Structure 1
Amino acid sequence: MTVLVAGHAVDDLYQGAVPAIVPFLVAERSYGYVAAAGITVAATLLSSVVQPLFGVLTDRRAMPWLVPAGMTVAGVGIGLCGLGDSYLFTWLAIALSGLGVAAYHPEAARLARRVSRDGHIGMSWFALGGNVGFALGPVLVTPVLAFGGLQASPLLMIPALIGGALTLALRGVRGEPAHVVAHTGRDDWGQFGRLTVVVTARSMVTFGLSTFLAIWVTQRVGGLVAGSAALVVLFGVGAAGTLLGGVLAGRWGRIRVVRVSYAVAVPAVAGIALVPGPAVYLMVALAAVALYAPFSLHTTLGQDYLPNRLGTASGVTLGLAVSVGGVAAPVVGAIAAVTNLQWALLSLTVLPAIAWVAARGLRRPAPFDARLSLRDYG
């Protein structure tokens, strides 16, 4: 599990790297807004669409080699993006990285669930790894490209190459299985569809906040440092909230934690837009806990609702539904342009309310069959 958590951090580091690379592409190659948006689309939209397809494939046959291979490809794509002046080459390199991210998640989530022996805390650690990795993307990219320019981008491959090699060294990932053991239980597509609504709504409010929070707090409190500090609170407290969700689920149950989290998120998000002065940081922290506590629980619930299609469930809850949330940012921006940023942020409160309503219809799934643990992986 330690290697899986670290590997998830390395893989998602390359998702977080893309927003940090775009300003360098704009500065060195004079990309316009449309071209810059195209780079983001290459990384996120393609990955989100392809990820469920990898889930379907891994449901038919376990493919543990996708874990180190996907991680490595994600890093190689980012490493190549700064070489060559062609926009098409850069776009394809970023798309290759997104493809690697998509290949990694379904099989890694399946393996993490089995290694954790159905432990919610174990899956929370796995989810935390991804959140930390995403946050570390700019931390890696900015100094490398600031000192070496885009030509230094191959250095960004190093974490992926090391992480891929370490993951490959695991016995459970090295051996390719001869067959996949049949799962028990009936797939509940109705409940899974309801869960997808919950995950998508959560993703949209999270994307909207992360995009405009720094701007809002800068205006509200004053100074660029204040805005950056708000993002640190959002992501830092959110990471702790991911672990807290697993602990609370073990005590109160996943469904209750999900419902309570989104009920709390409604006033918390509203408070960000309404509370004056430095007290806004308290509302940011509360919103972070409420929005991140259910994060890992979405994945385990999805796997339990589709016990015969664990890869598909992971691909949707970790890929498609999460990336689709990115459509919220342009909508929030349009609302801000017509009214103001405060009303735009207030509009985000509708999303956790939708998640709460949808979560009220969730039923407790049948227990995950932990006996189907590592036999598929050698």
Structure 2
Amino acid sequence: MNTVAANIKQQSANQPQTIYKVLIILGLCHLLNDSLQAVVPAMFPILQKSMSLSYTQLGIIAFALNMVSSIMQPVVGWYTDKKPMPYALPIGLTSTLIGIILLALVPSYTLVILSVMLIGIGSAIFHPEGSRVAYMAAGTKRGLAQSIYQVGGNTGQALAPLITALILVPLGQIGGLWFAPVALTAVLLLAYIANWYTSQLAINRKKKTAGSTVTKSLTKKIWIALAILLFLIFARSWYISCMTNFYAFYLIQQYSFSIRESQIYIFAFLAAGALGTFFGGPLADRFGRRNVILMSLIGSMPLTILLPYVPAPLAFVLLLLIGFILMASFSVMVVYAQELVPGKVGTMAGLTVGLAFGMGAVGSVALGSLADAAGLPLTIKMVGLLPLLGLLGLFLPTDSKLEEWKKEI
């Protein structure tokens, strides 16, 4: 019995530990980073009035923000897989700090675009490296770790409507300066994370001297599974982009809401999404990542279709349910991609999260143009059909199949 107990203790000691302190600080930094990014769509109603912008022009602002981030994230992830750069984290947030200050002060549409591009650059550097740190600190609880990291970001995004209602409506564009101290706080916290990251790299280098890793070409079936996963991210991102950028205008038109009232509904959607993100990871650790992905998209489908046809009080309830269910797959898809392609943590994080930003960017322009041409009510109804594409998730390999594939790579 003593021998068995000793073996169990030894196996437990050999398991990597989950570093909750690092994960919590990282989640807080993600909250701060994405709350800064959320200032951009939160400022849309203000900019629309002050600069007389169309829905298409607002979509182009979102495109500039998200496309810069989308293009750069996979590149940053790919490069840092080869050569990790811990101090890129605080440097990236410094770019965001500069962008947020400019956004509060600039008088023209062109300079607004430049400002949001700087914010996008900061986000592009932060997300793949932040996901890598979460992976390093996860131990055996990768789903939970990624959820702690991602829930910070989604909570930051959920603050956008409150930012509009409480700060930007009374103060206007100049209210963006309130977020400069937030950006500076994030820079300082990420300097601490960068120190821990550096120490972990030194430890990992010593471990690698005991053996080497061999990178093999990805098989055709892995490429197909990755393509399906990215397509599902496309469907989810377009829906969320429509809700965050344009649903407030729909509420104002259809229900005669004020800007402040409409932002409460958007906050409810995003806050429920943040809660769903947190629970999605632990649920995936227990019930399987593929199962949670399917539940998220297919489960939200009837609710998104019904949403445009219900009265305002019921719409609020549906927004809570849709946000929770749809965003439960956010962190799960990142971990699924990382396990689909082992050894490419940064690349997969940059690709999955970056694609979410990129598809949101394309969606912002496309949906803004559709709203200008066909009307906002029809646009909202059409977008409600997007989760139907979640049925493609039935073709994703199961978690047990992924474990088999890992042995072949």
**1:56 is aligned to 2:101:** no
Structure 2 counterpart of 1:173, one-letter code: Y
Contact in 2 for aligned 1:194/1:359 (Cα 8 Å)? no
Counterpart Cα distance in 2 of 1:252 and 1:176: 30
Identify the residue that residue 244 of structure 1 maps to in structure 2. Answer: 279
Residue in structure 2 matched with residue 372 of structure 1 by the alignment:
none
After superposition, the Cα gap between the structure-2 partners of 1:38 and 1:231, relative to the gap in structure 1 and judged at 3 Å, is closer
1:356 to 391, 394, 405: 391
Q: CA deviation at 1:362?
A: 3.4
- After TM superposition, give the deviation of residue 115 of structure 1 in Å: 0.8
RMSD (CA atoms): 3.2
State the shift of 1:348 in Å: 2.2
User: C-alpha distance in 2, partners of 1:286/1:85?
Assistant: 39
CA distance in 2, matches of 1:100, 1:176: 23
Query: Which residue is 1:101 aligned to?
Result: 123
Q: Alpha carbons of 1:189 and 1:275: their partners in 2 closer, same or farther (altered >3 Å)?
A: same
Superposed displacement of residue 315, structure 1:
0.7
Alignment of 1:1-378 (within 5 A): 1-25=23-47, 30=51, 32-33=53-54, 37-83=59-105, 85=107, 88-119=110-141, 120-137=143-160, 139-140=162-163, 153-170=176-193, 171-173=195-197, 175=199, 177=201, 187=218, 188-218=222-252, 223-224=257-258, 227-276=262-311, 278-332=313-367, 341-364=376-399, 365-366=402-403
Where 1:79 maps in the other structure, the secondary structure is helix
Question: Counting helix residues as a fraction of each chain, which structure ranks higher?
Answer: 2
Secondary structure of 1:366's match? helix
Q: Please tell me whether Structure 1 or Structure 2 has the larger radius of gyration of its CA atoms.
A: 2
Is the Cα–Cα contact under 8 Å of residues 220 and 277 in structure 1 kept in the other structure?
no
On the 8 A contact 2:77/2:348 being kept in 1, the answer is yes
Deviation at 1:206? 1.4
Percent identity reads 27
Change (3 A) 1:172 1:39: same
CA distance in 2, matches of 1:368, 1:160: 42
Supply the distance in 2 between the matched residues of 1:295 and 1:210 (Cα, whole angstroms). Answer: 16
Deviates most, 343-352 or 149-158: 149-158
Q: Which digits, 9 at most, give the CA deviation of each residue in 1:1-35, with x for residues without a partner?
A: 1110000011111211112345555555x364476
Cα displacement (A) at 1:191: 1.8
The separation in 1 between residues aligned to 2:47 and 2:373, in whole angstroms, is 30
Q: 2:69·2:357 contact (CA, 8 Å) conserved in 1?
A: no
Q: Distance in 1 between matches of 2:387 and 2:340?
A: 22
CA distance in 2, matches of 1:368, 1:14: 39
The C-alpha deviation readout for 1:247-280, integer Å capped at 9, x for no partner, is 3212211111111221111111112123345223
Change (3 A) 1:192 1:43: same
TM (norm. structure 2) is 0.78
What are structure 2's unaligned runs of at least 5 residues?
Answer: 1-22
The alignment of Structure 1 onto Structure 2 pairs a total of residues equal to 368
Question: What is the CA deviation profile of residues 320-370 of structure 1, one whole-angstrom value per residue up to 9, with x for unaligned ones?
Answer: 23331333345445555666655433322432111221453334223999x
The SS at the match of 2:397 is: coil
The residue type paired with residue 156 of structure 2 is G
C-alpha distance 88-302 of structure 1, shift in aligned 2 (>3 A): same
TM-score by length of 1: 0.84
1:73 partner amino acid: S
Q: Please tell me whether the aligned partners of residues 241 and 289 of structure 1 are also in contact (alpha carbons under 8 angstroms).
A: yes
Q: Which moved more, 1:175-184 or 1:3-12?
A: 175-184
For 2:34 and 2:121, locate their aligned partners in 1 and report how far apart those are by CA, in whole Å. 12
Alignment check: 8 A CA contact 1:59 1:312 kept: yes
* Distance 1:259-1:37 versus aligned 2 partners, 3 A rule: closer
Cα distance in 2 between the residues matched to 1:93 and 1:201: 28
Could you tell me whether the CA contact under 8 Å between 2:68 and 2:120 is conserved in 1?
Answer: yes
Distance 2:404 2:100 in 1: 39
Indicate the residue corresponding to 2:15 in structure 1.
none
Q: Deviations over 1:280-328 (max 9, x none)?
A: 3332222222211101101101111121221111111111233313333
Find the aligned partners of 1:90 and 1:263 in 2 and give their Cα distance.
38
Aligned match of 1:373: none
SS in 1 for 2:403: coil
State the partner residue of 2:9.
none
Task: Tell me the amino acid that sits aligned with residue 208 of structure 1.
Answer: C
What secondary structure does 1:354 align onto? helix
After the TM superposition, which of the residue ranges 119-128 and 210-219 deviates more from structure 2? 210-219
